[in-house]
Structure formats: C-alpha cells, structure tokens
Amino acid sequence: MVLRAEGLAKSFPFEDKRIHVLEDINLSLESGKSLSIRGDSGCGKTTLLNLLSRLESADRGTVKWQDFEMNASKQCASKEGVLRAHFLGVVYQAYYLIPELNVLENVLIAAKLSGAYGKEVSDRARELLSNMGMGNKERQIPGKLSGGERQRVAIARAMINSPKLILADEPTGNLDERTGGEVMELLLESCDEEKTALVLVTHNQKFAEATDETLFLKEGKLQN
C-alpha cells in the first residue's frame, strides 16, 4: 500500500465555534493505482490533499506513506520533509513555476531541493519534458508559455524525483476543455508509465472516471 489515511479530521476556528471540514476520513491506495476525488467547491478537497501531503496538520488521525506512519495531528517533522521530497510530487491548479527560471531549470529545481545533481538528473528532466511535448522549449521562461504548456512543465517537475505518489489538485482548472483534456491524458499516461500512484482532485466527471477508483467528498466524509 503506497498511501493510507485513517480517521482524519480537520476543523477551523470561526468566531466562537469551529467549522468541521473533514470527519473520519479513511482511504487507501495501492502502488501504481489512481484515485479521483470529486465534490462541491469548498467541501475540503484541497484541505484533504494538504493533510495527505503533511503540509497541514489534522485535528486527529494518521497518514501512512508506504511503511512510514505519521500522527497527522502533529506538525511535519524534518525527517518527514526529507522523505516527502522523494516520496511524492504535487501538481497544482496554479502551476507555481518560478518566473525567473527557464523551463528546464524549473524542472530541475525539485531535484536539487532533494539533493540530486548531475548529468543523469538533467537527462531525466529533458526526457520528461520531451514526453510532455516541451522538449523544444527548455530554455523558455514561464511567462512566454501558454497555460497548458506551464502545466506540462509542472507535471514534469512533479515527476523528476520518480515519486511513488502524485497529488494533483484541479490540474486542469485553469485550462480550456481541449487543453485540459490533453494535459490530463499526459498526467495519466505519465503515472501509468512510471508506475506512480495518483490522487486526483477534479470537478470533471470524465477525468474522474478515467481513474481506477472514484470517491466523492460530501459533508466532510468520503463516499463511493
């Protein structure tokens, strides 16, 4: 099992009470498999991804990355941060490319942050960009790219460290239908080729149905 979450709960303070966003979330994902999560805007999908990636702490519950189990109510420890750099990649709706760096440098930055350097890493970055149809734009800066091109670079960046898990938060949310379809196809193909597990948050029913399992987040709980 590449990912397991048990009993996750999350609430936020609001005036003199707490708003309960997630309640008793349980999910599991096998290596190389894909899972989509749909739900209304504001239902807590991004919050759930943040808990799974340990970017936020939960009120209670546990998160397990393969054999490494964490108390989700505690802050992410430095050991977890090092593991996260190698274990998972994240694809966001907003791309988050560094504007001063070119395409190749944006992909390589994720490898460098994990301590990886050298020709082998550069060759992998170029191969990923080529697979994304961006091999001829590795020296271009993000400001000169279309939204679809930026997301292709973001996917390559997420894949550079050969992660066991990709978390994708509405990766086509800023794209038109055609471009979004192309990007989603590339994401699914990349995960399949690399045997990388995928948790996809999306509003698009067609994209959701392309994954191995589909869940719905409603009233703080995951439903089939």
Q: State the CATH number of the domain containing residue 110.
A: 3.40.50.300
Query: Two tokens at 197?
Result: 């597990």
- Judging by DSSP bridges, how do beta strands 88-91 and 197-201 pair with one another? unpaired
d(CA 82, CA 77): 9
Does some domain include residue 14? no
Confirm whether pTM is higher than 0.85: yes
Does some domain include residue 163? yes
Does some domain include residue 63? no
> Where in the sequence is the domain holding 87, given as residue range(s)?
32-58+80-223
Task: List residues bridging with 99 in a β-sheet.
Answer: none
Q: Which residues fall within 8 angstroms of residue 118, CB to CB, at 6 or more apart?
A: none
Q: How many CA atoms lie within 13 A of 211 on its CB side?
A: 27
Does some domain include residue 67? no
Number of domain units in the chain: 1
pLDDT by 10s per residue, the chain, length 224: 999 999 999 999 988 889 999 999 999 999 999 999 999 988 999 999 999 999 999 999 999 999 999 999 998 888 888 899 889 999 999 999 999 999 999 999 999 988 888 899 999 999 999 999 999 999 999 999 999 999 999 999 999 999 999 999 999 999 999 999 999 999 999 999 999 999 999 999 999 999 999 999 999 999 98
Does some domain include residue 111? yes
Does some domain include residue 70? no
